[in-house]
Structure 1
Amino acid sequence: MKGKRILSILIVLILLLVPITGVFASENYKTLKFSSKGNEVSRLQQKLQNYGYYTISIDGIYGKVTEKAVINFQKDNKLIIDGIAGKQTQTALYGKTTTVSRGTSSSRSSVKSYSDADLLWLARIIEAEASGEPYNGKVAVGNVILNRVNSKEFPNTIYGVIFEYYGSIPQFSPVAEGTIYNTPSQESINAAKDALNGARPVGNSTYFFNPAKAAGTWIVKNKTYVTKIGGHSFYA
């Protein structure tokens, strides 16, 4: 029995100590241009929205509005102006170099204000809770976690929020199911980065659930409905 207990402890330690550098490999940016569609475009729109270049709903479609937003970003950051989000434009946009936010006169540097561990755990909960959700829905889950971190009603760390229990019941089912330890996809990592860098698609929401999988009775009765993204309903 003692040997089995030691083995179990070792397995947990191995899961917790997965090399973070191996998870967060360098990004390979896909060139996006007019008529492109998908989660990569949604992420692009989200980032442009964060900086004030894109002001309508995120739809994952690279149309005229997205193209114009990219052109304005390229102009402000002294990049090649072609309306195409290639490697140079995306590298600048996603914080690899200094960028300028529209409507401000100050530069926005790529200084990272969160740890690799924060990014890892946020990406893991996003992957576990929203792997099948649209990109904006993934960012929304990260938004909720960070809102809890900043609320006096919840623990003040990402890890603490994820592993909070009410009695013997964890706040997030992936903790009980063990899926919280799965390796996050690059898309979940990207969504975590966007949330950590200020993306707030669901505003001040601190709760979410999937109506197709749970009734969410307490949340519906006690919290204010904010919006629905993909399969998740969000409440504040």
Structure 2
Amino acid sequence: MKGKRILSILIVLILLLVPITGVFASENYTTLKFSSKGNEVSRLQQKLQNYGYYTISIDGIYGKVTEKAVINFQKDNKLIIDGIAGKQTQTALYGKTTTVSRGTSSSRSSVKSYSDADLLWLARIIEAEASGEPYNGKVAVGNVILNRVNSKEFPNTIYGVIFEYYGSIPQFSPVAEGTIYNTPSKESINAAKDALNGARPVGNSTYFFNPAKAAGTWIVKNKTYVTKIGGHSFYA
């Protein structure tokens, strides 16, 4: 009788522990913190960079800059602020619940809804201006276009910004060349989606040019340098 009672207790304990074990088994993330290194850190930096929190080169090293970027992300998304990319932070960063709020940082903005036409034209200008650029450079071009849309100095639609003229000269050379009508690649479409969903790798930049192809004299003299991605230099 006593043996049966012990067996019953053991069965109950096993049944109770199974769900708990399942929870731990379902964890597929690695906690990242200061001094962590490797591909997971690079992935974290890339995602933070897409949202404008991380602005230097991706090196796979969780140093002070990465830690600060995580802290800023945690602040904006009302997470526990500890500078550690644990389950909660990574879920918010990689998941659909991520919000990018307009705060004190110039590199983040609120996510807005957009139409199919907005996506098409943004993807087209990205393809025309940055088809040979790295992915983050494509997102950066979309970032610039949307910054202009949100600025009082430019038209307030994506189409209007792309087809704006100064006198008889279009703001963007692909309009004059006709390449604005080329079919965008899947990567350009994805970059447009990321930009429309709040990714801001070049912050408040409203100008960019390729120093190897143009002097950009007016921009250099009148605007503030932000960063360079691929062949393009960005200015705000």
Q: Which moved more, 1:184-193 or 1:104-113?
A: 104-113
Structure 1 range deviating more: 65-74 or 216-225: 65-74
* SS at structure 2 position matched to 1:40: helix
Distance of aligned partners of 1:162 and 1:65 in 2 relative to their CA distance in 1, 3 Å threshold:
same
RMSD: 18.8
Q: Deviations over 1:89-141 (max 9, x none)?
A: 99997766789999999999999611111111111100000000011111110
Alignment-derived partner of residue 5 in structure 1:
5
Per-residue CA deviations over 1:7-40 (Å, capped at 9, x if unaligned) read: 9999999999999999999999999999999999
Structure 1 residues 62-71 or 166-175, which shifts more? 62-71
The question of whether the paired residues in 2 share the 8 Å contact of 1:133 and 1:231 is answered with yes
Structure 1: distance between partners of 2:120 and 2:3? 30
Shift of 1:181: 0.7
Distance change >3 Å, CA 133–CA 167, structure 1 → 2: same
Secondary structure of the residue aligned to 1:109 is: coil
Q: Encode CA deviations 1:154-195: one digit per residue, 9 max, x unaligned.
A: 000000000000111100000011110111111111111111
Using the TM superposition, give the Cα deviation of residue 63 of structure 1 relative to its aligned residue in structure 2, in angstroms: 13
- In the superposition, the TM-score normalised over structure 2's length comes to 0.60
Do the aligned partners of residues 41 and 23 (structure 1) sit closer, same or farther apart at CA in structure 2, a change above 3 Å counting? same
Aligned equivalents of 1:103, 1:130: Cα separation in 2: 29
CA distance in 1, matches of 2:25, 2:157: 24
Q: Is the 8 A contact 1:144 1:202 kept in 2?
A: yes
Q: TM-score, length-normalised on structure 1? A: 0.60
Of stretches 187-196 and 74-83 in structure 1, the one that deviates more from structure 2 is 74-83
For 2:101 and 2:46, how far apart are their aligned partners in 1? 14
CA-CA distance at 1:57 after TM superposition: 3.6
CA distance, structure 1, for counterparts of residue 19 and residue 221 of structure 2:
42
Once the two structures are TM-superposed, the CA of residue 47 in structure 1 deviates from its matched residue by: 3.4
Gaps of 5+ in 2: none
Asked which structure has the greater CA Rg, the reply is 2
CA contact (8 A) 1:47 1:194 kept: no
C-alpha spacing 1:220/1:73, structure 2 compared with 1 (3 Å): closer
